[in-house]
A and B are shown apart, each in its own frame.
Chain A
Amino acid sequence: MGTGVQAYISYRVITKTNLPEFEGPEKIVIRRYSDFEWLHDRLSEKYKGIFIPSLPEKNAVEKFRFSKEFIELRRRALDLFVNRIAVHPELKQSEDFRIFLQADEEKMDRARSYETGIFKKPSDFLQMFKTKVSDVVLGKEKPVEESSPEYEKLKNYIFELENHLAEAQKQAFRLVKRHRELGQSLADFGKAIKLLGACEGDSLEKVFSEVGSKSEMLSVKLQKEADNLLFNFEEPLKDYVRAVQSIKATLVDRANAFRQHYDLYREKEYKEHNLYLKADSDEATKRFEHIVAVMNEELARFQEQKTADIGLAFHEFAKGQAKLAKDIADAWRGVLPKLEACSS
C-alpha cells in the first residue's frame, strides 16, 4: 500500500473458530506489522513468565524490504506467531488477542492508543548485568540475583544456546548463498561449453551441447534448492534463535520480579510492624514464585516443541540435499555414454 517511505505491507488475518467468545465462525481482518507488534507487547506485559512467541525482525534494509522472498518469509513468521498464540493454553484466552483477530480498523486504533504501559526496551536485557551507576556512586549494594544452582544453570544454558544456534544459522544462511553461487557458475559454464562446442562442429558439438544443457539444467535445480534451504532450513533455525531471545526477555522479567520480592522482603523484615509492607512483600513473593513455576512448565514445552520443529527442518534439509545430489549424479551419468562414444 502506498509508495515511498510511507509504504507498508498489510496482511490478511483469517480466523476460523467455533469458540463462543468470538463473533462468528469466520473473520477476516487487515493488519500491518505494527499491529502484530502491539499484540506482542500487550501479551508480554500481561503474561509474565510465559515465553511469548517471537516476531520476525522489525527492521530490514530498505531495498530488501519489498523483495518477494522477504515478504514471504515475514508472512510465514507472522503466521506462526499468531498460530502459536492460538494453541497456547493461557495466551489464547487473552482479550487483546481477540481484539487483534476481530476488531475493525477504528477499534484497533483506539486499542492501540490506550497504550500507557512500559514497553520492553532492549536496554532491559542489559540491565540484568549492569549495575546502575547511581547505585554504585551512592553506595547502594549492587542488584541481587537469584543464586540457586538451577537458575545459574538455566541462565548459562540459554545464553550459550543462543551462541551456538546463531552460528549454525549463520552457516545455514551462507550455504544458501553458496547454492545460488554454484548455480550461477554452472549456468555460465554451460553456456561457455556450448559455444566452445559450436567451434568444433560435428559430433563433438552435439556432445558439448549436451554437457552444456545439463549444466544449465542443474543450475536451475540448485536455485530451487537454495530457495528450499532458505525457507525450510535456515528460517526454522532463525526462528529457534528468536525463541531463545524470547526466553531471555522472560529471564529479565524473572530477575525484576526477584529483585522486587527480595527488596520488599528485606524491608519487611526490617519494619516488621508495617502491615501494608507485609502485604506488598507477600504479593511480590507470590508473583516471583508464579513466574518461576510458569517458566518451568514453559521450558519443558519449549524443549519438546523445538525438537519437533528442528527435527522437521533437519528432515527437509537432508531430503533436499539428497534429491539434489541424485539429480546431479543422474544428469552426468546420462551424458557419459555419449561422451564415451565420442572419444572412442
Chain B
Amino acid sequence: MMSSAPPPPNLPADADGDMESLPLAPTASDYASVSSTFDPLLSSASLPTPIAAAPFPLSPSSFVDPPSYADVSASSSSFSPLSSAPSSSPRSARAAACEYALIAVSDPTPEAEPAATSLVPGSAPTYISYLVTSARRSGGAGGGGERRYAVRRRFRDFVTLADRLAESFRGHFVPPRPDKNTVESQVMQRDEFVAQRRAALERYLWRLAEHPAIGASDELRVFLQAEGKMPLPTSTDVASRMLDGAARLPRQLMGEEAVAAPQEVVQPAKGGRDLLRIFKELKQSVVSDWGGVKPPLVEEDKEFLDKKQKLQDWEQQLTSASQQAEALVKAQQDMGETMGALGLAFIKLTKFETEEAMYNSQRIRAADSKRIATAAVKASRACRDLNTQTVKYLDTLHEHLGIMLSVHTAFSDRASALLTVQTLMSDLASLQLRIEKLEAAASKIFGGDKTRHRKVEELRETIRATEDAKCCALREYERIKAAYAEKIVEGWETVAEETSGYARRSDNNLAW
C-alpha cells in the first residue's frame, strides 16, 4: 500500500474545530519509508543459493489470512549462513569454516515403492524423494572450481544418516533431525506438509555441515555425494536385535562367551544385542545408585557437573521463555484480528450512514468513521506482519530447545559410557579375586592340578580381554567428556544474534 498521499499535519491535542481533518498518525507514505529499512537477512533476493523458497512478502498489503506457524516455516527463506549478515558473528565464523559451500534440498517428487506389489494397478504406495544438491568448498590452492553433487534421498535415508551419526559421535551435541510423522499417506502427500519437511531437512543438513566434527565426517560426505542407493547401513529394529541377543544368551551363561569384545564395548549396552551385558550393567547401576557402594570410577569432573547444572537451568528458562513467547504471539494475533473486526464494523456503519443520510452531520460522521475504519484495518495488517516476524524469530527459542535434546542425548551417552567402564572394572575386580583364590587353592595341592592350571590360564586370558575392553571403554568415556564442550558457547551467542533480529522486526510495528 504505497500510496502517494502526503502525510497529514499533526494536529494539536484537542482539535475542537474541524472534524474533517482528524489527526491520523503516519499514513501509508510513512510506512513506506519504514519498509525500506527492512533487514537484509530477509530479502531472499540477495541469497546466492538456489533455494526454492517462496519470496517473503515485504509489502504490508499482501496479507490475506493471519499467518500460522506452518505458513511461516514453510515460506521463510532458509537458514543460509552465507547471507549478508554482519560478518563477525559466531554463526558466520562457523559458516566460513564449513566444508560445504552449498547444500540444498529441493524438488520433492513422489516415487513408487519398488518392492511393493498391489492388486490394483496404479495404487502402489508412494514415498517422496528429495533432490539433495551440494558443493564442497574448494580448498585454496589448485581448486579448479567446485564440484557439484546431486543425489536423490528419501526421508528414511535421513533417518539412517541420523542414526549412524548418533553412533559415531557419541558425546557430541548431534543436531536433532526433523520428526518422523506416523500419519497416513494422505497427509504425506499434502503440499504444505512436504514444503515444511523440505525446509526442515535443508536446515538439518546445514546444521550438520556447520558442526565442526560432523561437517568433516565421512558419513555426511557419503550421504551427500554417493549417487544411487543410500550407502550407509540401515539400523535394525529393536525386535530383531532382541532375538539375536536371546540366541546368544545361553552360550554366555555357560561361560563360553564371557567377555564383551572391545569394539562392542564402545557402543552403549542398551541398544545392542548383548543381553548379558545389558543385565550386568543394569546390576551395576543399581549397585551404584542404591547399594551405597562407591563404584570404582565416578563422574568426578566438577567442571562438567557445574556446566551440567547450568545447562539444566538454561533449559528450564528456555522452556519458560518459549512458552511465554507462544503466549505473546497468540496475544498479538488476537489483537490484530480484533482490530480488523473493528475496522470492518466501522466500514459497515459508514456504508449504512452514507446510504441513509438525511442530515449533513451524518455525512461528516460517515467520513470520520471511514477514516477510523481504514486506519484500523491498516493497523490490523501491520499487526499481522509483525506477528509473522515475531514468530520467525521467537521460533529460535524452540529450536534451541531442540538442541537441548541433543545435549541430553550426549549426557546420556556419557552416562552410559561411564556405566560400561564401571561394570567392566567391577568385573575385573571380581576376576582378580577369583584368580587369587584359585592360586591360593592351587598352592595347597601337591603337583598342581592341570584343570586348575587351565582354569587359571583361562581366567588370566579373560582378564586380559576384559582389561582391553575396559581400556576401550575408558577411552570412549574420555573422548565423550572432551566432545561436549565445544557447542555451548556458540549456542548462547547464536541466541543473542537471532534475538537482535526480533528487535529489528518489532521496530516495524509502525503503521500508525
B373 (CB) vs chain A CBs: closest residue: A168
- The yes or no answer to A55 lying at the interface (CB within 8 A) is no
- The yes or no answer to A29 lying at the interface (CB within 8 A) is no
Interface of chain A residues 155 through 191 with chain B (CB within 8 A): 157, 160-161, 164-165, 167-168, 170-172, 174-175, 178-179, 181-182, 184-186, 188-189, 191
Contact yes or no, A335 B503, CB < 8 A: yes
- The yes or no answer to B493 lying at the interface (CB within 8 A) is yes
Q: Which of B177-185, B235-243, B260-268, B346-354 contacts A (4 or more CB under 8 A)?
A: B346-354
A305-344 near B? 1/0 per residue, CB < 8 Å: 0111011001101110110011011001101100110111
> In the complex, what distance in Å separates the CA atom of A181 from the CA atom of B92?
38
B371 (CB) vs chain A CBs: closest residue: A314
Given A175-B339, A196-B321, A339-B496: A168 in contact with B349 (beta carbons within 8 A): yes
In the assembled complex, which residues on chain B have CB atoms less than 8 Å from the CB atom of A292? Answer: none
Contact yes or no, B328 A186, CB < 8 A: yes
> In the complex, what distance in Å separates the CA atom of A178 from the CA atom of B358?
36
- The yes or no answer to A264 lying at the interface (CB within 8 A) is no
CB distance from A290 to the nearest CB of B (A): 21
Contact yes or no, B503 A178, CB < 8 A: no
> In the complex, what distance in Å separates the CA atom of A325 from the CA atom of B24?
12
Q: Which of B147-155, B249-257, B504-512 contacts A (4 or more CB under 8 A)?
A: B504-512
Contact yes or no, B23 A328, CB < 8 A: no
In the assembled complex, which residues on chain B have CB atoms less than 8 Å from the CB atom of A193? Answer: 321, 324
- The yes or no answer to B433 lying at the interface (CB within 8 A) is no
Given A315-B23, A339-B503: A172 in contact with B510 (beta carbons within 8 A): no
Given A307-B361, A328-B509: A182 in contact with B331 (beta carbons within 8 A): yes
> In the complex, what distance in Å separates the CA atom of A184 from the CA atom of B330?
12
Contact yes or no, B359 A314, CB < 8 A: no
Select A168's contact among B318, B325, B346, beta carbons within 8 Å.
Answer: B346
In the assembled complex, which residues on chain B have CB atoms less than 8 Å from the CB atom of A30? Answer: none
Contact yes or no, A303 B359, CB < 8 A: yes
Select A306's contact among B89, B310, B365, beta carbons within 8 Å.
Answer: B365
A191-224 near B? 1/0 per residue, CB < 8 Å: 1110110111000100110010000000000000
Chain B's interface size range is: 35 or more
Interface of chain A residues 248 through 295 with chain B (CB within 8 A): none
- The yes or no answer to B439 lying at the interface (CB within 8 A) is no
Contact yes or no, A171 B88, CB < 8 A: no
Contact yes or no, A318 B24, CB < 8 A: yes
CB distance from B378 to the nearest CB of A (A): 11
A183 (CB) vs chain B CBs: closest residue: B331
In the assembled complex, which residues on chain A have CB atoms less than 8 Å from the CB atom of B375? Answer: 318, 321
> In the complex, what distance in Å separates the CA atom of A318 from the CA atom of B507?
20
- The yes or no answer to B424 lying at the interface (CB within 8 A) is no
> In the complex, what distance in Å separates the CA atom of A336 from the CA atom of B497?
11
- The yes or no answer to B15 lying at the interface (CB within 8 A) is yes
Select A164's contact among B327, B352, B372, beta carbons within 8 Å.
Answer: B352
B324-357 near A? 1/0 per residue, CB < 8 Å: 1101101110110011011001101100110010
> In the complex, what distance in Å separates the CA atom of A188 from the CA atom of B329?
12
Given A185-B328, A199-B317, A340-B500: A304 in contact with B361 (beta carbons within 8 A): yes
Contact yes or no, A344 B89, CB < 8 A: yes
Interface of chain A residues 23 through 81 with chain B (CB within 8 A): none
Select A318's contact among B22, B349, B353, beta carbons within 8 Å.
Answer: B22
Contact yes or no, A175 B379, CB < 8 A: no
CB distance from A119 to the nearest CB of B (A): 32
- The yes or no answer to B486 lying at the interface (CB within 8 A) is no
CB distance from B499 to the nearest CB of A (A): 6
In the assembled complex, which residues on chain A have CB atoms less than 8 Å from the CB atom of B317? Answer: 192, 195-196, 198-199
Number of A-B contacts (CB under 8 A): 191
- The yes or no answer to B399 lying at the interface (CB within 8 A) is no
Classify the interface of chain A: helix, strand, loop or mixed.
helix
Contact yes or no, A318 B334, CB < 8 A: no
In the assembled complex, which residues on chain A have CB atoms less than 8 Å from the CB atom of B348? Answer: 164, 167
Contact yes or no, B321 A195, CB < 8 A: yes
In the assembled complex, which residues on chain B have CB atoms less than 8 Å from the CB atom of A185? Answer: 324, 327-328, 330-332
> In the complex, what distance in Å separates the CA atom of A335 from the CA atom of B73?
26
CB distance from B351 to the nearest CB of A (A): 9
Contact yes or no, B22 A332, CB < 8 A: no
Given A168-B346, A304-B361, A343-B86: A192 in contact with B321 (beta carbons within 8 A): yes
Contact yes or no, A178 B368, CB < 8 A: no
Given A168-B342, A307-B19: A325 in contact with B25 (beta carbons within 8 A): yes
CB distance from B393 to the nearest CB of A (A): 11
Contact yes or no, B500 A329, CB < 8 A: no
CB distance from B503 to the nearest CB of A (A): 5
In the assembled complex, which residues on chain A have CB atoms less than 8 Å from the CB atom of B492? Answer: 200, 204
> In the complex, what distance in Å separates the CA atom of A71 from the CA atom of B377?
33
Contact yes or no, A182 B335, CB < 8 A: yes
Contact yes or no, A325 B500, CB < 8 A: no
Contact yes or no, B493 A343, CB < 8 A: yes
A164 (CB) vs chain B CBs: closest residue: B349
Select B338's contact among A164, A178, A335, beta carbons within 8 Å.
Answer: A178
> In the complex, what distance in Å separates the CA atom of A211 from the CA atom of B314?
18
- The yes or no answer to B320 lying at the interface (CB within 8 A) is yes
- The yes or no answer to B364 lying at the interface (CB within 8 A) is yes
> In the complex, what distance in Å separates the CA atom of A176 from the CA atom of B348?
21
CB distance from A323 to the nearest CB of B (A): 9
Contact yes or no, A178 B13, CB < 8 A: no
A304 (CB) vs chain B CBs: closest residue: B361
B88-131 near A? 1/0 per residue, CB < 8 Å: 11000000000000000000000000000000000000000000
- The yes or no answer to A300 lying at the interface (CB within 8 A) is yes
Contact yes or no, B504 A336, CB < 8 A: yes
Contact yes or no, B369 A310, CB < 8 A: yes
CB distance from A132 to the nearest CB of B (A): 32
Contact yes or no, A318 B372, CB < 8 A: yes
Contact yes or no, B496 A207, CB < 8 A: yes
Given A195-B321, A343-B89: A319 in contact with B23 (beta carbons within 8 A): yes
- The yes or no answer to B362 lying at the interface (CB within 8 A) is yes
- The yes or no answer to A153 lying at the interface (CB within 8 A) is yes
Select A339's contact among B335, B346, B493, B499, beta carbons within 8 Å.
Answer: B499
> In the complex, what distance in Å separates the CA atom of A188 from the CA atom of B327?
9
Given A310-B368, A332-B507, A340-B500: A189 in contact with B338 (beta carbons within 8 A): no
- The yes or no answer to B313 lying at the interface (CB within 8 A) is yes
In the assembled complex, which residues on chain B have CB atoms less than 8 Å from the CB atom of A184? Answer: 331
CB distance from A201 to the nearest CB of B (A): 9
Contact yes or no, A317 B372, CB < 8 A: yes
Contact yes or no, A178 B19, CB < 8 A: no
A174 (CB) vs chain B CBs: closest residue: B338
Find the residue from B323, B330, B364, B496 having the highest chain A CB count within 10 A. B496
CB distance from A287 to the nearest CB of B (A): 25
> In the complex, what distance in Å separates the CA atom of A125 from the CA atom of B13?
42
CB distance from B298 to the nearest CB of A (A): 27
Given A175-B342, A328-B506: A339 in contact with B13 (beta carbons within 8 A): no
Contact yes or no, A325 B512, CB < 8 A: yes
In the assembled complex, which residues on chain B have CB atoms less than 8 Å from the CB atom of A343? Answer: 86, 89, 493, 496-497, 500
B362 (CB) vs chain A CBs: closest residue: A303
- Given A175-B342, A192-B324, A200-B495, 5 further pairs, Cβ under 8 A: A157-B358, A168-B345, A175-B335, A195-B321, A343-B496
Pairs of residues from A and B, 7 with the lowest C-beta to C-beta distance, nearest first = A322-B25, A339-B500, A343-B497, A171-B342, A185-B331, A325-B512, A189-B324
Show 17 residue pairs from A and B whose CB-CB distance is below 8 angstroms, ordered by the A residue. A168-B342, A168-B349, A171-B338, A171-B345, A175-B342, A178-B338, A179-B335, A189-B325, A196-B317, A198-B317, A211-B499, A311-B19, A314-B368, A315-B23, A333-B507, A343-B496, A343-B500
